[in-house]
Amino acid sequence: MEIPFTVSERPDTGLTNPKFGIWLFLASEVMLFGSLFSSYIILRTGSLDWPVQSDELNITIGAINTAILIASSLTMVLSWTALKEKQFKRFKLFIGLTILFAVLFLVLKIWLEYIPKIHHGHILSTNTFFAMYYLMTGLHALHILGGVVVMIFFWGPGSKMWQTNPDQFVNRIEVVGLYWHFVDLVWIFLFPTLYLL
């Protein structure tokens, strides 16, 4: 007996196993980042000397990074529709763009935010604001990095599956896309919380 619904959808749920699996993973990630937001609220409301965040963080860079991530979300979903339209070259273009946007996000974050701050002496142990800032954005950045690694795989060697099993390949890109949109969604909340409020 083969394991059913690895590529085709189960009629009553409308889901393939991998798509269901990634949604469940994302549900746990909601609780993961939720714990961080909850901790942030507690630490900030319990603090007498929480710094003015917009003094410590560069809103322009944060906003640009937000735009970059939104653009990458768009190119990600367009790479999936390209595959559904059997436009393999367009898929490669759009997922390539997604990767570039993601790398740009990380470059801006590390070179224009983290490194200057560290040189300034603002590190995890400086105060609880910086501890939360590094933890929340750092964990988010690790998620971006993970996504980039997977996307590079599917842009490169993994794309061979388009020849051997196109249905499964389309599904895999959809699954990657769901993960990627979630990472964008987290940043949509992180940005105002850390930079604007």
Q: Scanning residues 155 to 184, which ones bind other proteins (CB under 8 A)?
A: 166-167, 170-171, 177-178, 181-182, 184
The residue (of 31 and 89) whose beta carbon lies closer to other proteins is 31
The two three-digit tokens of residue 35, written as one number: 């714990």
Shortest CB 67 distance to other proteins, Å: 6
Site for other proteins in 89-118 (CB under 8 A): none
Find the binder of other proteins among 52, 55, 78, 151 (CB under 8 A).
Answer: 78
Helix (H, G, I), strand (E, B) or coil at 108: helix
CA pair distance 32, 9, nearest whole angstrom? 28
Helical H segments across 46-111, by residue range: 53-56, 59-84, 88-107
Shortest CB 24 distance to other proteins, Å: 5
The residue (of 27 and 110) whose beta carbon lies closer to other proteins is 27
The two three-digit tokens of residue 106, written as one number: 């990380």
Binding residues for other proteins, total number by CB under 8 A: 82
Burial 46-69 (b: 16+ CB within 10 A, else e): eeeeebebeebbbeeebeebbebb
The residue (of 159 and 181) whose beta carbon lies closer to other proteins is 181
Shortest CB 179 distance to other proteins, Å: 10
Bridge partners of residue 33, in order along the sequence: none
Residue owning tokens 């935010």: 113
Find the binder of other proteins among 119, 125, 163, 164 (CB under 8 A).
Answer: 125
Using the Cα atoms of residue 158, residue 17, residue 81 and residue 103 in order, give the sign of their dihedral.
Answer: negative
The residue (of 37 and 152) whose beta carbon lies closer to other proteins is 37
Supply the DSSP symbol for 12: T
The two three-digit tokens of residue 77, written as one number: 């979903």
For residue 170, the one-letter residue type is V
Site for other proteins in 13-72 (CB under 8 A): 13-15, 17, 20-21, 23-25, 27-32, 34-39, 41-43, 45-49, 54, 59, 63, 66-67, 70-71
Shortest CB 78 distance to other proteins, Å: 6
Task: Based on the shown chain and the rule CB under 8 A, indicate whether residue 4 belongs to the binding site for other proteins.
Answer: yes
